[in-house]
Amino acid sequence: MDVLEAVKIFKNDGVMVFPTDTVWGVGAFIESREGIEKLYRIKNREKDKPTALLVGSMDQAREYGVFNDVTEDLVKKYWPGALTVVVTAKTGVNKEILNDKGGIGIRCAKNKLVKELCESLSGGIVATSANFAGGESPKSLAEVSKDFLNSVDGVVGVGDGGGKSSTVVDCMGENVKVLRQGDVHI
């Protein structure tokens, strides 16, 4: 499937599987409430467990989150790449993808396909690893279960992910706090 076809599916409330620079992901367009709900159903993910938002650029990231000086310095050093920053969400961002403090995890992926998808959508992709809740994060399409693939609206892209989930840091307080350690060491 090509990018234009994938964008059409995303914009029509679809859920897609795709490679990232970390692991294979599954996602929905941030502007699609139905797509996000479907993503949670497919994953069998708890409603109170937030997901990350993949963006194609810093400009897109600023549409969804508030970046303080410390966070700006972090993303200048590690983006695009395997760092997810949790920042205060801007007003209007779908509350279903936020943490209980109004934070949103944002990552600017290094993967060219993700960047192209986000640019073509003119918005972010709510994403998580392409597995059922509690399962292993797939490093390749071959590691995504057939049952999982049968539950989504399509697959776009080829290749392997980077193999390790992103580092997630909470930047909402005065100090940066590592929530999940990945390849990026803060």
Residue 186 falls inside a structural domain: no
Residue 33 falls inside a structural domain: yes
Query: What is the per-residue pLDDT for 162?
Result: 67
On the question of pLDDT at 67 being above 90, the answer is: yes
Q: Work out the average pLDDT over 124-132.
A: 95
Distance CA 64, CA 73 (A): 18
Query: What is the per-residue pLDDT for 37?
Result: 95
Q: Work out the average pLDDT over 85-93.
A: 95
Query: What is the per-residue pLDDT for 161?
Result: 66
Query: What is the per-residue pLDDT for 186?
Result: 85
Residue 53 falls inside a structural domain: yes
CA angle at residue 97 from 104 to 7, to 5 degrees?
100
Could you list the residue range(s) of the whole structural domain that residue 161 is in? 3-180
Residue 185 falls inside a structural domain: no
Q: What is the pLDDT of the chain when averaged over all its residues?
A: 92
Residue 98 falls inside a structural domain: yes
On the question of pLDDT at 10 being above 90, the answer is: yes
Q: How many domains does the chain have?
A: 1
The string of DSSP letters for 31-70 reads T-HHHHHHHHHHHT--TTS--EEEESSHHHHHHHEE--HH
Local confidence band at 73 (pLDDT 50, 70, 90 cut-offs): very high
Query: What is the per-residue pLDDT for 65?
Result: 97
Distance CA 56, CA 117 (A): 8
Residue 147 falls inside a structural domain: yes
Residue 124 falls inside a structural domain: yes
On the question of pLDDT at 152 being above 80, the answer is: yes
Rounded to two decimals, what is the model's pTM? 0.93
On the question of pLDDT at 141 being above 90, the answer is: yes
Position 78, amino acid = Y
Residue with the larger pLDDT of the pair 182 and 6: 6
Query: What is the per-residue pLDDT for 174?
Result: 81
173-182 pLDDT, tens digit per residue, is: 888 999 999 8
On the question of pLDDT at 80 being above 90, the answer is: yes
CATH number for the domain harbouring residue 59: 3.90.870.10
Contact by Cβ (8 Å): 165, 22:
yes
Local confidence band at 185 (pLDDT 50, 70, 90 cut-offs): confident
102-122 pLDDT, tens digit per residue, is: 999 999 989 899 999 999 999
